Amino acid sequence: MIADIGDLVRAESPSADPAAVAACARVAAGIGTRLTGTAPEWLDSSGRPQLRWRFGAGDRVLLLGHFDTVWPVGSLATHPFEVAGGRLTGPGCFDMKAGVAQLFHALSLLDDLSGVSVLLTGDEEIGAPASRGLIEAEARRTQAVLVLEASEGGALKTARKGVSGYELEITGRAAHAGLEPERGVNTTTELAHQVLALSALADPAAGTTVTPTVAASGTTRNTVPDTARLQVDVRVATAAEQARVDGAVRGLAPVLAGASVDLSGGPDRPPLPASASAELFRRARGHYAELGFGTLRGVAVGGGSDGNLTAGVGTPTLDGLGAVGGGAHADDEHVIVAELPRRTALVAALVASLTGAPPTGPDRGRG
């Protein structure tokens, strides 16, 4: 398994580089073919490869993951793939190339994969613009989704917040800041009004955050600025809150006379509510205890994943079944090596219970 993770990590695959993503897809396809005995379908979505396996009808359980990362090509020079002190490191190892390897090693423990489907995508890190329709369609035809995203501290993701994103483009009128500022319409001032109005939409008690993030305005110190841009990140625990905030953002009006505000964006990923994962998490806890691994924890998180999309179409979804470690997208990204076989065994047990195929053990599996 470590060798397979190493091959995936060394196939650098930043989302913005389709050629690199395709090269990593070929590595993932080779690992999946070797461990399951079946080659994937190559599905082209807007020039990006997505890999799909269907075993039998493939309508009982979908295993979902991605092979793109946030790390640019060349990151191996400063963050090489290494295994030392019980930790595995390298760009994208935790999020989520170890999870891809675990997925196939888990399937290699089963004699019968009937009812299983696998979907690996190459654009998760940029919001799944090309693969979203495919993910939702695959989720609608299956009865449960297991997401092999990484796990900070070992807890499964039993709930995820929904995500919305907006950009405001503000237009005013330029003027000389010293000679006749009163002739201008200051977009920096209008931007400040909008930031305060947006921030007021947050509801901490409901778990709703509305965070102005990237802002830009002005060209020179002595010019009243006539354009400004503002990006806003929204996280919500419920669909109702997502709709409330969306309506309020769309109702924003300029404060300064002569200013205009154009809005783009909207809801991106729906929430993954605890109700969507409850039964699958109950199964997972039972299998984890039966395997002798102790008590499995669940956690609600603010970050989104493709699991939000599958839960959004009504399919029960359990997330965070991939590698245990930490440092996603950061210099200290790492995987705890000792947890790799445990999480792999858990995924195999879950798939077996959802399809009715008993695990065979590593000595009899395809791998």
Q: Tokens for 259?
A: 């200013």
- What is the DSSP code string of 303-354? ---HHHHHHHTT--EEB--S-EEE-TTSTT-EEETTHHHHHHHHHHHHHHHH
- Cα–Cα distance list, 263 to 185, 245, 316 (Å): 19, 14, 34
| Catalytic-role residue among 4, 68, 125, 268 | 68
Bridge partners of 147?
64
| Cα(68)–Cα(18) distance, integer angstroms | 9
- 215: phi then psi, degrees, rounded to nearest 5: -135, 145
* 124 noted as active-site residue: yes
Asked if 69 and 26 count as a contact pair (C-beta separation under 8 A), the reply is no
| Cα(308)–Cα(80) distance, integer angstroms | 32
- Can you give the length of the chain in residues? 367
Bridge partners of 231?
167
The number of CA neighbours under 13 Å toward the Cβ of 75 is 24
| Cα(198)–Cα(136) distance, integer angstroms | 31
* 279 noted as active-site residue: no
| Catalytic-role residue among 4, 95, 123, 124 | 124
Residues involved in catalysis: 68, 124
